[in-house]
């Protein structure tokens, strides 16, 4: 009688050649993806005449073409330094406000039972499909009526309102994954709703807080349309995106200055994402169906 062996694992076996092919394809895609960023970085350190005469890939054969003058001119003379500070003043409050308001809104949606709870959650989710562009004129008129158009509070309110539907959705899904027995135990011990929220739910939901903070910060930091509508081109409050867009049509700006300014705008999002990408992925997949 022939002996039948039961496989120890159901995982598919990949041959070394298949693994090598998969890794090679991934490396090719990674190189293609980061190549423009590398070219932008090298160009930002080259002299104007070198940029015009040769491609960035020729820079390493001409080491004397590298200079820090581009960054000095951009940060100290081109107004990019002020725009960099404005971007921080816009992005940080807009991110904090969204996290606080969305967490407070998602807490009752996840743990309290009241009439219309499901309808409210579906309403918040459905708001994500409304194009941002169709709301710009009504919101801008409202800001003008309040007398805050062209100020930081106006852009804070706009970014907070636009970021809340997705933020509430992410927080509600993450909160729903917390065992309700923990909430009941805290209530039996005499904890108030706010104590449960601030001392129990939020500390357990830090991956969602971190991922949403990264997502909201990067969206606000890279925004151009909302900033143009609610702030205009006023240099005192203009963020980096508006400043770089205005440099494109300036006779005083060249590729050497624009590349340096563009890379300055990329530094903060790159550092933020690379530092917290673990929490970013974990938070965005919260509440997903696992097979």
Domains in the chain with CATH codes: 16-67 (no CATH), 75-284 (1.10.3720.10)
Alpha-carbon dihedral sign for residues 48, 52, 54, 55: positive
Query: Is residue 227 over pLDDT 80?
Result: yes
- Beta carbons within 8 Å of 241's beta carbon, 6+ residues apart: 87, 222, 223, 224, 227, 265
Query: Is residue 88 over pLDDT 60?
Result: yes
Q: What is the pLDDT of residues 163-196, one digit of tens each?
A: 999 899 889 888 888 888 888 888 888 888 899 9
Q: Compute the distance between CA of residue 244 and CA of residue 38 in angstroms, rounded to an integer.
A: 19
The CA-atom distances, in angstroms, between 82 and each of 85, 88, 234 are 5, 10, 12
How much is the pLDDT for 100? Answer: 95
pLDDT, mean of residues 50-78: 79
Q: Compute the distance between CA of residue 206 and CA of residue 133 in angstroms, rounded to an integer.
A: 32
How much is the pLDDT for 191? Answer: 86
Residue with tokens 């039996």: 188
Share of the chain above pLDDT 90, in %: 19
Query: Is residue 156 over pLDDT 90?
Result: yes
How much is the pLDDT for 113? Answer: 83
pLDDT, mean of residues 193-219: 89
Chain-centre distance of CA 210, in angstroms? Answer: 11
How much is the pLDDT for 285? Answer: 58
Query: Is residue 94 over pLDDT 90?
Result: yes
pLDDT, mean of residues 39-68: 81
How much is the pLDDT for 254? Answer: 74
How much is the pLDDT for 281? Answer: 65
- pLDDT-wise least confident of 101-110, 164-173, 244-253, 269-278: 244-253
Q: Is 231 in a helix, a strand, or coil? A: helix
The CA-atom distances, in angstroms, between 116 and each of 45, 104, 109, 243 are 58, 17, 10, 45
**Contact, 167 vs 109, CB < 8 A?**
no
pLDDT, mean of residues 196-209: 89
How much is the pLDDT for 92? Answer: 94
How much is the pLDDT for 4? Answer: 53
Helix count and strand count (H, E) for the chain: 14, 0
* Paired tokens of 16: 């070394």
Query: Is residue 290 over pLDDT 50?
Result: no
Query: Is residue 291 over pLDDT 50?
Result: no
Query: Is residue 98 over pLDDT 90?
Result: yes
Residue (of 96, 92, 97, 90) closest to 240 by Cα position: 90
- pLDDT-wise least confident of 35-49, 54-68, 73-87, 119-133: 54-68
Alpha helices in the chain (DSSP H): 16-44, 48-53, 69-72, 80-111, 117-126, 136-146, 152-176, 180-188, 193-196, 202-204, 206-221, 225-231, 240-247, 255-284
DSSP state letter for 200: I
Q: Compute the distance between CA of residue 258 and CA of residue 265 in angstroms, rounded to an integer.
A: 11
Of residues 194 and 248, which shows the higher confidence score? 194
Return the beta strands (E) in 6-109 as ranges.
none
Query: Is residue 3 over pLDDT 60?
Result: no
Total residues belonging to the chain: 291
The CA-atom distances, in angstroms, between 186 and each of 113, 178, 189, 266 are 17, 13, 5, 44
């Amino acid at each position: 009688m022939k002996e039948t062996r039961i496989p120890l694992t159901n995982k598919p076996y990949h041959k070394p050649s298949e693994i090598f092919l998969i890794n090679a394809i991934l490396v090719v895609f990674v190189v293609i993806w980061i190549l423009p960023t590398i070219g932008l970085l090298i160009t930002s350190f080259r002299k104007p005449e070198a940029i015009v005469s040769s491609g960035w890939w020729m820079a390493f054969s001409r080491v004397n073409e590298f200079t820090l003058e581009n960054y000095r001119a951009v940060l100290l003379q081109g107004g990019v330094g002020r725009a960099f500070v404005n971007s921080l003043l816009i992005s940080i409050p807009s991110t904090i406000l969204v996290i606080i308001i969305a967490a407070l809104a998602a807490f009752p949606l996840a743990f309290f039972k009241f009439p219309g709870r499901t309808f409210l959650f579906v309403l918040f989710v459905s708001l994500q499909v409304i194009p941002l562009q169709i709301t710009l004129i009504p919101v801008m008129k409202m800001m003008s009526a309040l007398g805050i158009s062209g100020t930081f509070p106006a852009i804070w309110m706009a970014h907070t309102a636009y970021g809340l539907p997705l933020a509430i959705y992410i927080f509600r899904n993450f909160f729903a994954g917390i065992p309700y027995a923990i909430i009941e135990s805290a209530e039996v011990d005499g904890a108030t709703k706010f104590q449960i929220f601030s001392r129990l739910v939020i500390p357990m939901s830090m991956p969602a807080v971190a991922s949403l903070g990264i997502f909201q910060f990067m969206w606000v930091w890279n925004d151009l349309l909302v900033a143009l509508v609610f702030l205009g081109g006023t240099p005192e409050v203009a963020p980096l995106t508006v400043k770089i867009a205005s440099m494109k049509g300036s006779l005083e700006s060249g590729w050497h200055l624009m590349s340096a300014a563009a890379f300055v705008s990329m530094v903060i999002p790159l550092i933020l994402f690379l530092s917290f990408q673990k929490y970013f992925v974990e938070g965005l997949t919260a509440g997903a169906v696992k097979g």
